[in-house]
Structure 1
Amino acid sequence: MAYTESRGKFYRGRYRNPPGVRPKWGTVSENLNGEPFFRKTDALRAAQNKEAEMHRLANEWQGPVPDPPVPFGEWLRMLQAQRRARGERDLTAGAITLQEWVETKWLPAQDLAVLSIRNYRQHLRNRILPTFGHRPLYTLTDFEEINLWEKQLRTRYMDNTVSNTRSLLTTLLNDARDAGLVDVNAAARRRRRGKVAEQRKGRTKKVREWLTPLQVLLLAERCAALTGRDDDFVMWITDAWCGLRWGELMAVRGDRIRDGKLIVDAQLIELDQRHLLSDPKDGSFRNDDPRFFGALDLPPFLEALLRRQIERRRRLECHCDGLCGAGRFLFLAQEGGHIRHRNYSEFPWRAACHGKAPESGPERPVLVDMAYGWPGVELKPAWRAVEGADWTPPRGRGQPRWDLPVIDAHVLPCPNRKCGARPGEECRSVNGLPKRQPHAGRLTAAVEQGHVRERRLATWLPIKAGLTPHGLRHSLRVWMDEDRIPEVAKLDRLGHSMPGIGGTYAHVSESMRQELVEKLQQRWETALRQRARMSATSTVAVLRDLLVSQTQISAPVRLPIVSQPAERTTDPRG
């Protein structure tokens, strides 16, 4: 029978070990939190619980007891061997916590792509382990508890994130059940439970936005206008006409363009604030290897654009630590590093695609000055969006006066002797620092000589709300569908395998490739002609050179997806 002993200020409990175990009496001197027993009743209750557990284990023993007696750990291993021999599950195996099992057993055994492991770690670190990580596996048996946890997650995260987290927990408990650590998978979804209407809405196919070739051209032009770099224009035209994923686009290198083809043999992924070069998603190599897919045939216009980009980027390399391969990537950030997806989505993508300035606070449309040419030069900070038909320029402290005429004072030298700025240079203060505004004498002289002009204010309307960079890959698929390209050629271009028996007998012929190239070239030429009819010039140098080749330009037309010039008293929201 269990009893207690006084040990100074504390107590400890003694309990009887099973037969064949030495010593005959076991000791418990701490609670589950590792704290000593200050009260005799707590020590006695703990000893009684341990003795009840020993009695249950002793009842499972079959056959003669060990003689001579053995330590309890060895006796327990012998009992586990008896259970396995009888085909039973080891009831003590599930005592390991979920976190310890995942980190020491489950994750190291997974053979997955780097991105998959990263996503698993994020789900575990942020949502699963904070709730269940400290729990022994055998305690994760309550279906209602896990359903309540999922319901609470849906109040804080997107549905897709919660579904992926629940699926990962289901996979974990499935593997734990197969390993004999739990009896049931409490995370498995039970059919026909919950609100049927909500479930059907959740299963509704998500709308995937796509663009026409003209919209892609306008989007690429806007991105390049915002960043002031031709690279962005070439980058998005390449992405749309080749159907690349983001990582594959970032991994494009000059030496992968050969004989009018683009070889896709890598993707650049972001992992722990670093960039790593790895195989394309699902091994979708496009390199003309018979085991994979064909290299991407480039339309003549796109090959010329990429050759131009190679010449411009010939001497520029990334400044990584070598994990990316330190190659000559065609699309890098201005400072030479790699472009981060999250940063680019905020700027310039959101402004170019959605027509919203990437600023905190109230919503602001992208405000531009069309006097410099299409699509305009962005004015910062933009005015706030307002409702109503009647509109007047905002007034007040801190409000920019974009509605006032512009004085081009920099075309003249500064008459201030202490400044002495030459034409094209900014005025400087007495301490030599640049001034935000030219000196008064320089402004007066510019006004007297007529160097004053009106701004042509306009705002950008959205090209396609909700579009993501991956939508350009969907766009290419729509174009190929409209052009009636054979299914096998479409899948080959996108790096997808053709399912079923059709994938065994279908092959991509040279005539299919040539037809696809011709159709893509025609779509580019049509989009360029449509863009030329809007405006014969552009603030983006590479597009301006392309528009020069358009000799027949019709009268300008107004389309609802592009900037609309406005008078000074016109609503700047467009």
Structure 2
Amino acid sequence: MAYAEKRGSGKRPWRARYKKPDGTKGSEPGFRTKVAAEDWGEDQEAEIRAGTWIDPDLMRVHFGVFARKFMAERQKRGRTNGTRWDRLDAYILPKWEHTPLIGMTWFDVDSWQMLLPCEDVTRGHCVSLMSTILTAAVDARHLKVNPLYGRRRTAAVVSTPTIVKPRRSDEDGAHSPEDVLRVADRMGPAKGLNVITTAFTGINWGEGQGLHRDACLRTRRQRWGSGWFECPTLRVVQEVAEYEERGPAGEKLGTVLRLEPTKNEWRERDLDLPPFLERMWRYHLADWPYEWVLSTESGKWWRRSNWGKQIRPAADGRSAREKRQGVSARKKWEPIAPGMTMRSLRHLHDSLQAQIGVKAPLEFEQAGHKRPGIKGVYQHPTPEMRQERLDGLEEIFWGAMRNLGWTTLWGRVDLVKHTENHDRLPSDSQLIYMEDRSRTRDRHQSRSEAV
């Protein structure tokens, strides 16, 4: 039975006493009258009997304390975990670390997010992460309800910017296949193949880095009419993540590069290669001596910052430099596709699929996206869909080559500079790279004929 005790002679001298589920005595001070203290204690015991009671002490745990417990016990993929810690450190904890869980309200959180000095998408991610943590607090019986659940954020006040920011090229959709080929040609065979593969398959950065030799030029084989449809593929089953490793309390342990599973089950897929890209990959694998086929010249995974040093001057241009002691000369490069990134190349691939009318089941599959709705369950890619997509991408590539007046990329098929310890390719590989389109098309069609 709950009861009240008087402690001192201040304005709130009464405290409630009640029996907790484990048999110990609970205490809550700060009541003006004996009746108020008794009523509060009886409410607690009623909730205990109903199985809905939440310990008031747990409700008063600071958000920062519970957020660190959540991060330590609900580990995600390394990159996701690092991004969550970045949001917490930069935006969330400076404001909410010492706020009791029970003291958090939607009004306060919504007002705070409107003024965050970041992009609106980042504001949304911060609020979403906070809501996830508070839902975990409900599950851990620290709160009765999540005050952020299901609420729509208020848009930030629109003001006239003092500086007009240039639009990013991936937002404009400005890249063309000709841009891709010109940038790839500047970067050289091995790095250029990375650019072309991303634009014509939609493979993302981490997936490309995690592409192992054993996953390359596998064969897709499906029944087609009275025979079989076959095409070469790149199999995506893992990716390389670059992130700031964190300890249990969020302490920084340094940046790492690690293999991880794909982001979700739809990202694990086989990417169909059109004939021109198959041929590039065959030459590349014949020449490339390392297991990681889109790696650096020493066979290690690229760091994003180091890759940026390769693609930025190739896409954005660079100034000329005269030769001097310790520094080689270089010629000036005019801009080709300012702002081009591997992400914008992935966007280009999705745009090309729409341009050539790739059917939805295949479009979502090749991009590694989950198709929403019941059609995502009922519809599947057919060999006819695959052939139509490959023909469309092949035509886009050769159309770009014609527009540029090119018949070869890099002027050769030899993909790396040879050293004394590296044998040259077989003589039959020393052909012009894109020698005769008709032969390539004939070879491609013969593969699809009934056997």
| TM-score of the two chains, using structure 1 as the length reference | 0.56
Unaligned stretches of 5+ residues in structure 1: 1-17, 26-46, 67-71, 199-204, 225-229, 288-294, 317-327, 356-365, 368-378, 381-401, 407-433, 438-454, 552-574
Match of 2:116 in 1: 153
1:532–1:550 contact (8 Å) kept in structure 2? no
Match of 2:257 in 1: 275
- Please give the alpha-carbon distance, in whole angstroms, between the structure 1 residues aligned to 2:145 and 2:409: 69
- Please give the alpha-carbon distance, in whole angstroms, between the structure 2 residues aligned to 1:534 and 1:484: 27
Please say which structure displays the higher CA radius of gyration: 1
State the SS of the aligned residue for 2:259.
strand
How many pairs align? 375
Aligned match for 2:375, one of 468, 484, 502: 502
2:262–2:268 contact (8 Å) kept in structure 1? no
Change (3 A) 1:170 1:213: same
Give 1:160 deviation, angstroms: 2.5
Give 1:244 deviation, angstroms: 0.4
Q: Within 5 A, what are the aligned runs for 1:123-202?
A: 123-141=87-105, 143-144=107-108, 146-147=109-110, 149-154=112-117, 157-177=118-138, 181-182=142-143
Change (3 A) 1:542 1:73: same
- Report the aligned-residue RMSD: 4.2
State the SS of the aligned residue for 1:499.
coil
Give 1:247 deviation, angstroms: 0.8
Asked whether 1:335 is paired with 2:317, we answer: no
Identity across matched positions, percent? 23
Change (3 A) 1:536 1:185: closer
- Please give the alpha-carbon distance, in whole angstroms, between the structure 1 residues aligned to 2:134 and 2:172: 33
Give 1:498 deviation, angstroms: 2.6
- Please give the alpha-carbon distance, in whole angstroms, between the structure 2 residues aligned to 1:141 and 1:214: 53
Give 1:305 deviation, angstroms: 1.6
Give 1:215 deviation, angstroms: 1.4
| TM-score of the two chains, using structure 2 as the length reference | 0.69
Give 1:110 deviation, angstroms: 3.1
Asked whether 1:492 is paired with 2:365, we answer: yes
1:286–1:296 contact (8 Å) kept in structure 2? no
Q: Which amino acid counterpart does residue 235 of structure 2 have in structure 1?
A: I
Q: From the two aligned structures, give the one with the greater strand fraction.
A: 2
Asked whether 1:471 is paired with 2:446, we answer: no
State the SS of the aligned residue for 2:171.
coil
1:210–1:471 contact (8 Å) kept in structure 2? no
Change (3 A) 1:149 1:480: closer
Q: Which amino acid counterpart does residue 219 of structure 1 have in structure 2?
A: V
Asked whether 1:262 is paired with 2:234, we answer: yes
Q: Which amino acid counterpart does residue 161 of structure 1 have in structure 2?
A: T
Unaligned stretches of 5+ residues in structure 2: 29-40, 160-167, 220-231, 246-254, 417-429, 438-451
Match of 2:310 in 1: 348
- Please give the alpha-carbon distance, in whole angstroms, between the structure 1 residues aligned to 2:150 and 2:374: 33
Q: Which amino acid counterpart does residue 25 of structure 2 have in structure 1?
A: W
Give 1:140 deviation, angstroms: 2.9
Q: Which amino acid counterpart does residue 212 of structure 2 have in structure 1?
A: R
- Please give the alpha-carbon distance, in whole angstroms, between the structure 1 residues aligned to 2:136 and 2:267: 32
1:266–1:277 contact (8 Å) kept in structure 2? yes
State the SS of the aligned residue for 1:92.
helix
Give 1:269 deviation, angstroms: 0.9
- Please give the alpha-carbon distance, in whole angstroms, between the structure 2 residues aligned to 1:48 and 1:334: 79
Match of 2:211 in 1: 252
Q: Which amino acid counterpart does residue 100 of structure 1 have in structure 2?
A: V
2:407–2:434 contact (8 Å) kept in structure 1? no
- Please give the alpha-carbon distance, in whole angstroms, between the structure 2 residues aligned to 1:485 and 1:235: 23
2:411–2:432 contact (8 Å) kept in structure 1? no
Give 1:90 deviation, angstroms: 3.3
Change (3 A) 1:300 1:52: same
Change (3 A) 1:93 1:531: same
Match of 1:301 in 2: 276
Q: Which amino acid counterpart does residue 95 of structure 1 have in structure 2?
A: R
Change (3 A) 1:191 1:129: closer
| Superposed CA offset, 1:308-337 (max 9, x none) | 2222223x3xxxxxxxxxxx1101123332
Give 1:207 deviation, angstroms: 2.7
1:83–1:90 contact (8 Å) kept in structure 2? no
Change (3 A) 1:471 1:91: same
- Please give the alpha-carbon distance, in whole angstroms, between the structure 1 residues aligned to 2:80 and 2:123: 16
Aligned match for 2:71, one of 107, 110, 115: 107
- Please give the alpha-carbon distance, in whole angstroms, between the structure 2 residues aligned to 1:234 and 1:98: 48
| Superposed CA offset, 1:216-269 (max 9, x none) | 111212233xxxxx2101111111111101111111111112232211111111
State the SS of the aligned residue for 1:296.
strand
